[in-house]
Every structure is written in structure tokens, then in C-alpha cells.
Amino acid sequence: MTSVQVRKLAFQFAEENKIQHRFNRETKTAGVDWFNGFKAANRLSLRNPEATSVARLRGFNKVQLNLFLSLEVKEKYNFTPDRIYNADESGLSTVPMKLPKILTPKGQRRVAKIVSAERGRTTTLVCSMNAVGSYVPPYFVFARQRMKPELLNGCPPGSQATAQSSGWMTADSFLAYLKHFVRYAKPSVDDPVLLLVDNHSSHISLPGINFCREDGIILVGFPPHTTHKLQPLEVSFFGPLKTYYNQVCDAFLVNHPGVVISDRNIGPLFAEAYCKAATVSNAVKGFKACGIEPFNPLIFDDNDFAAARTTERDNSEEDFASPSPRKRKSTTTPLTIDIQSDSDEDFPLSIL
């Protein structure tokens, strides 16, 4: 609830229960002083929330969490922390997503700040880290028809890139990234690595699955709409990275008047932000906060599932409301690819 909603509710509660008060009867709200005292007495604070879709509210529930954390693949292969990786994509725009506050004379109602364009050009970034704080060099997908080597000038050492007309991740681009990943993670059939990814369509293709099986990558997908809680990169890495990147872009525009940020500038600007965000601490904390490493199935309490409970419905009501039960979709489960399965019946995905 916002502060205004709390103050209005306090007024209504006092009126309903005939409690003497000095609240404002014209606005029908409690005062700011009362609200500050209420916060202090109950150890509350005001924070900026993250926008969360209804799909994510429904997706992150105890059933899905228990299903994911009960995967036997970790115990089956006895993965050590240095063999547990998480890979994910994010977008880098030539226009900063968030501008910092600036000093202006009092009374000036509208303030402008220069950016490269009205709408930025987005480059897809793929990052991967393991549970001990090691990072695989970044991989870029530039929104271009042809790849030019100079686009990698100034990028973090070991970075690779490809060009794709839309700049989005595709099945072919992900296969190219897997080959890049293998060079640094060094998996093998005898000593495999666990790679956690989301269930984007580009991550699930027959060439990619066969490559994982042949090179010792156990690919496991997160349950749908749960990455905001279960994906280490999203929990602890991409947030600081975007903050540092926006700061670096803003500083570049301030120090280079009249110059716009293009694809050729992304490498050096990103490298400066990446060096600040890609720390051992951020990686270790991310895996720990998600309960993946060290393994902790009780990392989330009832408060974390409070939002999901608002979307629950009784099964009997759902059956009554559904005119054709045969069309009802089953619950989606995490996807696991087992590299040691040679049976024709296990083609080529095993649904746990």
C-alpha cells in the first residue's frame, strides 16, 4: 500500500470503530506525523516496488518451486559449485533507460537532458556466471545484417558477437553462444556442467539439444514466470549492471557534446560497467538468494507466495466454469536434457 492509502485506511478505521482522533475530516486522511510514527513503531519503510505481472504472480507458487528445487539432476551428477552456471540475455540500448537527477534552478518546471535519440537501438547481451563467482566472457547479438570485427573493440576480453537483423536471440544465435560457452566452461561427458536457462523458444532447438548432449551440458529450464525469483543473473547481476551502464552512458554524453552513442560505442561503455558489476560477491549472492547453491529449498517463506495466493481458485469452481475440460492445458514443468540418455524413447527432451 502507498502512504496515502494507509492514511486513508487509518481514518476509515478510526471512524468505523469510533476512536477519537485528530485526522483531517475534509480530506478524510490521517496526518503525515501519524504515518511517520506508525512506520517507526512497526519498523516499516517506503520502497520503490518492482512491477510484477499477473503471470509472474501465478507462476511463482509453492508447487512450481518445489518441483524445480526437487530436481534430482544435481544429486545425480554431484555438481560442485564451480560446475553450476546460469546464462541469460538482456538488452543494451544506445539510449539510457533511466536518467539521473540533475541540478537546476528553483522554479524551473521542465528540465531536458540530451540523449542519443528518441528511441534507442538495442543489442542483445548474453551473460553467464557460476556459483563460485566465475564469469564466461559476454556474447553480443548486434542488430545488423553483417558482423564487423571493430564492433568488439573495447569489449571485455574474450567477448564474442554475431549479427542478426532484429538483434534478438534466435536458435542459431544460441547455438553459437553454446560453442562460445564451451570454450570457457570446458564441460565434457565425463565432467558435465549444469546450465540453468529460461524456457525461451530460442533455447529449445534440436541442434542446440544435440550439442549439449555431445559436449556435456545438462540444460535445465526454470519454471515459467519464475525467473524474477529463481534466476541468479536477474536477482543479483543485471540490476547493478544496468545501473552502471546508464551512468556510464550519461557521463559519455556529458563529456562528448554533440556525439551520439552508436553500436561502435557500446563495447567500451559496456566494458566499464561490466567490470564494476561482474564481481564474485554478486555471483555468489545471486545463487544463494535463489536457494540453488548452497541448496536451500526453504529459502522462500509464506510472504514470498502471498501474491500468488490472490490468484488461486478452487478446483471445483474451475471445473464448473470450464465448458470443455479436454482443452485445459496441463501445468508446465521444468525441462531437463540428459546427455547420457541414448534410448529412442527419451527423444531428445525428458520432461520431469
Q: What is the DSSP string of 291-345?
A: TTTTT-TTSS-GGGGHHHHTT---HHHHHHH-S-GGGPPPPP--EE--TT---GG
Mean pLDDT on 164-169: 88
> Are residue 35 and residue 72 in the same domain, yes or no?
no
Give yes or no: residues 212 and 255 share one domain: yes
**Exposure of 22 by Cβ count < 10 A (0-12 exposed, 13-18 middle, 19+ buried)?**
exposed
Q: Which carries the bigger pLDDT value, residue 117 or residue 91?
A: 91
Does 52 map to a domain?
A: no
- Please tell me whether residues 24 and 171 are part of one structural domain: no
Mean pLDDT, rounded, of the chain: 82
Whether 15 is in a domain gets the answer yes
Let me know whether 209 and 253 are in one domain: yes
64 with 37, same domain?
no
Q: What gap in Å lies between CA 89 and CA 92, rounded to an integer? A: 10
Please report, for residues 23, 241, 243, the alpha-carbon distance to residue 276 in angstroms, rounded to integers and kept in the order given: 49, 8, 10
Average pLDDT over residues 176-187: 96
Query: CATH number for the domain including 221?
Result: 3.30.420.10
Task: Verify that 166 and 199 share a domain, yes or no.
Answer: yes
C-alpha dihedral, 175 to 180 to 183 to 189, nearest 10°: -20
Sign of CA dihedral 102, 95, 87, 69: positive
Q: What is the pLDDT of residues 147-160, one digit of tens each?
A: 999 999 999 999 99
The count of other CB atoms within 10 Å of the CB of residue 193 is: 24
For the ranges 34-38, 104-108, 190-194, 203-207, which has the lowest average pLDDT?
104-108
Residues 123 and 267 in one domain: yes
CA distance 288 to 14: 44
What is the C-alpha to C-alpha distance for residues 237 and 231, in angstroms, rounded to an integer?
10
Are 196 and 173 in contact by the 8 Å Cβ rule? The answer is no
- Domain residue limits at 8: 3-42
Residues 66 and 192 in one domain: yes
**Residue 147: inside a domain:** yes
Which DSSP helix (H) or strand (E) runs through 213? Answer: helix 206-215
Residue 269 lies in a domain: yes
Confidence of residue 163 (pLDDT cuts 50, 70, 90): very high
- Dihedral pair phi/psi, residue 136, rounded to 5°: -80, 135
In a domain, 106, yes or no: no
In a domain, 254, yes or no: yes
Structurally, the chain folds into a number of domains equal to 2
Over residues 105-122, the pLDDT tens digits come to 777 677 665 555 556 788
Pair (210, 169) in one structural domain: yes
- 33 & 168 share domain: no
CA nearest to 332, candidates 221, 228, 211, 244: 221
Dmax (CA) of the chain: 76
**pTM of the entire structure?**
0.72
Q: Clarify whether residues 85 and 167 are in a common domain.
A: yes
User: Residue 52 — φ and ψ, nearest 5°?
Assistant: -125, 125
For residue 14, is it within any domain? yes
195 shares a domain with 312 = yes
Contact 236, 344 (CB under 8 A): no
Please check whether residue 53 lies inside any domain of the structure.
no
Q: Is pLDDT of 335 > 90?
A: no
